[in-house]
Amino acid sequence: MAVRPITIIGHKALHQPTKKVREVTDEIRTLVADMFDTMEAAEGVGLAANQVGVRWRIFVYDCTHDPEAGPDARGVVVNPVLEKEHVSPLSADPEADHEGCLSVPGESFPTARSDWARVTGTDLDGNAISVEGTGLLGRCLQHETDHLDGHLYVERLSPEDKRRARDAIKERGWEDERILKWDPTTQKAEKV
């Protein structure tokens, strides 16, 4: 398959809700295979379709390196619906809750997340699935579903960390309105 460029925070596709998948086509199967390749090349643990500029409600994940993740630590979810507990943005542990994002490369900030999360949806064959996790897997399920709803993790930060994130984004030039992408194989960002 192929490694696709990853959209950066200034890209409009990251700030709009995605569309429900009505039918899994060969095009969608190719997209998912490319998403796994892209996630692996970028050394990520999750990737939503809109992070590669496609507005379908799909994400892939791979938390297999976390021994606490369990048997459902790698997969794809089509049309995920998230269940989680409510969390205050001020409850992030500055030492233990750092989160990063392939669409905000090189940055990480303490991000409050529920200790537990579950997504329900379907696999590529239309079978109903439910993925439940705590720790890294739970965080990943929440993070990727946020992407599909048009939200980035930096929106969930405390006021102080939001300011730090805005400064880092401005310093890197990502607030530019032109379409921004980065190539995970070269680790270089470009404005198109």
CATH of the domain at 47: 3.90.45.10
Confidence of residue 186 (pLDDT cuts 50, 70, 90): confident
Q: Is residue 1 part of a domain?
A: no
Q: Is residue 44 part of a domain?
A: yes
Q: Is residue 188 part of a domain?
A: no
Residue in this structure with the two tokens 């398959």, named with its chain if needed: 1
What percent of the chain is modeled with pLDDT above 70? 95
Q: Name the domain count of the chain.
A: 1
Mean pLDDT value across the chain: 91
Confidence of residue 96 (pLDDT cuts 50, 70, 90): confident
Q: Is residue 158 part of a domain?
A: yes
Question: What pTM did the predictor assign?
Answer: 0.92
Say which of 40, 144, 177, 190 is annotated catalytic. Answer: 144
Q: What are phi and psi of 12, to 5 degrees?
A: -65, -25
Does residue 178 surpass a pLDDT of 60?
Answer: no
Confidence of residue 177 (pLDDT cuts 50, 70, 90): low
Domain that holds residue 100: 6-183
User: Known catalytic residue: 190?
Assistant: no
Does residue 130 surpass a pLDDT of 70?
Answer: yes
Confidence of residue 192 (pLDDT cuts 50, 70, 90): low
- CB burial string 159-168: b at 16+ within 10 A, e below: eebeeebeee
Does residue 21 surpass a pLDDT of 80?
Answer: yes
Q: Is residue 192 part of a domain?
A: no
Whether 168 and 154 have beta carbons less than 8 Å apart is answered as no
143 among annotated binding-site residues: yes
**pLDDT per position as a tens digit, 71-90:** 889 999 999 999 998 887 66
Q: Is residue 16 part of a domain?
A: yes
Q: Is residue 35 part of a domain?
A: yes
pLDDT attached to residue 67: 85
11 among annotated binding-site residues: no
For residue 32, the number of C-alpha atoms closer than 13 Å in the C-beta half-sphere is 21
Cβ–Cβ contacts within 10 Å for residue 87, how many?
A: 15
Q: Is residue 163 part of a domain?
A: yes
63 among annotated binding-site residues: no
- Range with lowest mean pLDDT among 22-36, 108-122, 160-174: 160-174
Average pLDDT in the 114-121 region? 95
Residue in this structure with the two tokens 């992407």, named with its chain if needed: 147
